[in-house]
Chain A
């Protein structure tokens, strides 16, 4: 509970600070919020008690702590990357709102992960979703941003409805909302299977699995870059964690139903995400489809239904946080410095900004799963867990998809390193917070793979059916 309490206090402190600072001092809130949040992130790594609260609606164990720490780290990096953007004039009057909204959603995600009943999970889900719509519509004078906000809120309302509808079946057949009470009563029967499928559809909206992905690209494109990175990394990671926990802990008996279901979803998500990513030129849309494809890979881990699966999913998300935020960090730095957001704008980028290009290169290689960077290990272990369940054909198709994904991940590489242009993006200096965030990402990209101790740590906390 400590993590949530700290976040709640932090949110209140920022709210108070907003009230008591004068207009000229607003920009100080940015630094202070980031510093305080960094402290909160560090506090997350302190030893943590395990147990239940509120009669079992809230529980915490080693794994939930690991998951929350991963999300905290990601949010810290997102905060560091949003300095430039928040310091702009048009955002001056809503700096604390940004932090407030992000921290609130993060709290919601923590509740989702730690939930012990469906009520808590649903409250967490709503808390994690509704403020994001406000964030997506953060740029008041941009119609695309407003469109993104509306699209996000409408689709999440629909998906929440679908999810609740599914849960009502589960409640109706078992008479309880507590995971511990439901799990023994779940069996393969038509009513519960139907309820489960609706539940999965609702979650699939949040993780943006095909065919529930249609909102993703537009929302990602319209929202401000830093909100997009938050959506694609933190929000998706939290939803995957929750899905994993509930599948394993509640619907274990429905294994025979959800393995083929996830098999199909994984196939569709990887393939369609990849095929659409190939044609994108806008970086945010490109990353939207790439993140859809990556979600397909995550399903490969969930599918395994054992310790190997849960370990590889959490490990992959950890790597994905660093990797995707490295790419987003560069995109956001370029977007704030020059306003350019298209891949074709990045021609000859290496000649003018070598360090940023190399960071981007590492990020893209890690997304594509190329050794020696961490993405390779993340993907390989996902494949390993799927193979351990005997899904060799699925693994083969997944690796083929990884090869296809290499095609489009190499497109920005080609633009940056190979293509020539007379008007490249001019050399510019990134701000200190951005640089810190990119160094953190690079450290993660290089170290998380090689340092097997991290994998072993997650494995020690892992759970299976």
Chain B
């Protein structure tokens, strides 16, 4: 059997098994075992994928398999991965597994919580393995909808409002997507039979007029999930109201679905329109990058700070993708993985700090380094990764992005690159401000003296996330090279048009 099927089967079986548990202890144990197996499967996948590549299998997508589903509509269940998808699956498994441990003490309706969380994960994994756009879209929506319940039931603050806003905006995005996907589907009739298969679609050169019509639908549709300005407003509210594990998963993985879809579907399949319209979206993403960073400066709530920084960082992903050269796109993918890990780490830490101090307002905390050194150090690592300190993953990602972007010779690209680079400085401002305010200095609230440091499951969750961040920062070459391999066909298709 194809190993990729495991990534859908394991979560489904886990969800079914949770139904038979009685309480929190059972539910979290089953989830941890299930997602642990998932993580192992992901590691096995990574090793076997690169073993195959080394053995000289140069097919664009490995582990390809294809089962006809709706025959008369030519809809298939087609799966396969290239190295980008493999890394994304790896990222998702780590974040989900860490997320389970971050919600180790979820008392209220615990079974339902873990089932919804894993349902969300199923959607994410299914999305990354799909090569048929119908199944891809199906999994995309599967990943979006549990968010409503997760935020609405287990969230905090104005949770109903945030949950509804997030759901409606993301579903509005899929409204755009459906139109774009159907456009591709019926557009493919020019090459014979209509199809949703990504590989077959990528061999077709669609007429430019058709590309111009459908590209905005697809790019904006996925872009909403990638927090494209001005459609990012669901993100700060949603992330701030969501429970810890959900923020981790959502900012860490789900937002990557947007970026992934943007280049894999919108730009790859409609390259001419992508080249023509890139400048519009480049301006929007530049605004995302800078605006998100400025937004973070003004916030007092830790989660809002991180949510705005996500807008900025995810904006950078789209920004780099739209630069459409090998280096910048390579950087974009690294940024996706790096941001996924560090933002998950951030949200996990914020959740842990909040569960102790019961406040997320940075003005009410100070000197936490003295009472919870482990959490504080982890927070600093996350912060340094976020502001791009060499040695951690953020540096590799941003450096590659900006070098790639500056390779363009023309004024427009150089100017917006320079503007986007400003975000590094602004990021440093808000990260260091928070670190200084809540971790360093004198203990502000004497009540906090009694608080304890991280428990074993929290440490496990944090270490799991920190390890790959450091690994990526110190040994980025392998990752970068494999991503470049997978990007080759995409970049070729995009640059052939110029």
Contact = CB atoms under 8 A, between A and B. Distances in A.
A297 interface: no
Given A387-B182, A407-B168, A396 B72 contact: no
A354 to B, nearest CB: 9
A448 B72 CA distance: 16
A414 B142 contact: no
Contacts of B486: none
B153 interface: yes
B340 to A, nearest CB: 24
Interface in A365-397: 365, 370-372, 376, 380-381, 383-384, 387-388, 392, 395-396
B60 interface: no
Interface stretch (A316-324, A330-338, A398-406): A398-406
Given A371-B138, A376-B138, A403-B172, A384 B182 contact: yes
A311 B70 CA distance: 12
Interface in B56-111: 69-73, 75
B373 interface: no
B168 A406 contact: yes
Interface string B153-183: 1000001100010011001101110110011
A56 B10 CA distance: 56
Nearest to A396: B179
A417 B186 contact: no
A313 to B, nearest CB: 15
B179 A370 contact: no
A410 B164 contact: yes
Given A455-B70, A459-B72, A380 B168 contact: no
B179 A371 contact: no
Contacts of B114: none
Interface in B166-208: 167-168, 171-172, 174-176, 178-179, 182-183, 185-186
Contacts of B186: 387-388
A356 B64 CA distance: 41
Interface string A112-139: 0000000000000000000000000000
B179 A387 contact: yes
Contact of B167 (A371, A372, A388, A410): A410
A384 B160 CA distance: 33
A413 interface: yes
A452 B71 contact: yes
A380 B172 CA distance: 15
Nearest to A399: B175
Interface in A412-465: 413-414, 417-418, 452, 455-456, 459
Contact of B160 (A372, A395, A396, A414): A414
B142 A392 contact: no
Contact of A383 (B75, B138, B178): B178
A376 B182 CA distance: 15
A417 B142 CA distance: 19
Nearest to A417: B153
B144 to A, nearest CB: 9
A384 B148 contact: no
Given A383-B178, A396-B176, A455 B149 contact: no
Interface residues of A, number: 30
Nearest to A460: B72
A399 B168 CA distance: 12
Given A395-B178, A396-B179, A403-B172, A452 B152 contact: no
A192 B296 CA distance: 66
Contacts of B434: none
Residue of B138, B159, B160, B179 ringed by the most chain A CB atoms within 10 A = B179
B141 interface: yes
B168 A403 contact: yes
A90 to B, nearest CB: 39
Nearest to B75: A452
Contact of B70 (A372, A376, A406, A452): A452
A437 to B, nearest CB: 22
A417 B179 contact: no
B171 A406 contact: yes
B69 A396 contact: no
Contact of B148 (A380, A400, A413, A459): A413
A400 B185 contact: no
Given A372-B142, A402-B175, A414-B152, A395 B182 contact: yes
A392 B138 contact: no
Contacts of B175: 396, 399-400, 402-403
Contacts of A452: 69-71, 75
A403 B153 contact: no
Nearest to A393: B179
Contacts of B73: 381, 384, 455
Interface string B205-221: 00000000100010000
B145 interface: yes
A407 B72 CA distance: 33
Nearest to B143: A371
Given A384-B182, A399-B178, A370 B141 contact: yes
B165 to A, nearest CB: 10
B72 A399 contact: no
Contacts of A387: 179, 182-183, 185-186
Interface string A25-39: 000000000000000
B67 to A, nearest CB: 10
A399 B179 contact: yes
Contacts of A459: 72
Interface in B126-146: 134, 138-139, 141-142, 145
29 contacts: A311-B72, A371-B138, A371-B141, A371-B142, A372-B142, A376-B141, A384-B73, A384-B182, A392-B213, A395-B178, A395-B182, A396-B176, A396-B179, A399-B175, A399-B178, A399-B179, A403-B171, A403-B172, A406-B168, A410-B167, A417-B149, A417-B153, A418-B152, A452-B69, A452-B75, A455-B70, A455-B73, A456-B71, A459-B72
Given A371-B145, A402-B171, A417-B149, 12 more contacts: A372-B138, A387-B185, A395-B179, A399-B175, A399-B179, A400-B175, A403-B168, A410-B167, A418-B152, A452-B69, A455-B70, A455-B72
Closest 6 CB pairs of A and B: A399-B175, A387-B182, A403-B171, A452-B70, A418-B152, A459-B72
Interface of A: 311, 365, 370-372, 376, 380-381, 383-384, 387-388, 392, 395-396, 399-400, 402-403, 406-407, 410, 413-414, 417-418, 452, 455-456, 459
